[in-house]
């Protein structure tokens, strides 16, 4: 499995001078504003009222309606 992509800019000042920080996995240090922050991927979120419909069943339901 490959590593996730690194952030492109600081979420606080917008500068691109980011370096990995020694405070654990996903921690970054901004060289411009000297803030340290972490990033964490939480997962995919779907609306509670809907579920994703597979593409194959959509084409099947269109054929049934004809």
Q: Which residues of the chain have pLDDT under 50?
A: 1-2
Domain around 1 = 1-41
Answer yes or no: is 16 within a domain: yes
How far apart CA 6 and CA 33 sit, in angstroms, is 18
Answer yes or no: is 32 within a domain: yes
Residue 6, pLDDT score: 83
The pLDDT tens digits for 33-46 are: 999 999 888 888 88
Q: What angle do CA 43, 25, 9 make, to 5 degrees?
A: 75
Answer yes or no: is 65 within a domain: no
Answer yes or no: is 17 within a domain: yes
DSSP one-letter string for 2-41: PPPPPPSS-TTT----EEE-SSSTTEEEETTT--EEE---
Residue 1, pLDDT score: 37
The domain total for the chain is 1
Answer yes or no: is 11 within a domain: yes
Answer yes or no: is 50 within a domain: no
Answer yes or no: is 22 within a domain: yes
């Amino acid at each position: 499995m490959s590593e996730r992509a690194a952030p492109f800019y600081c979420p606080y000042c917008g500068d691109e001078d980011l370096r990995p920080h020694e405070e654990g996995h996903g921690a970054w240090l901004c060289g411009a504003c000297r803030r340290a922050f972490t990033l964490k991927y939480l997962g995919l979120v779907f609306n509670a009222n809907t579920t994703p419909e597979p593409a194959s069943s959509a084409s099947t339901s269109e054929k049934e309606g004809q």
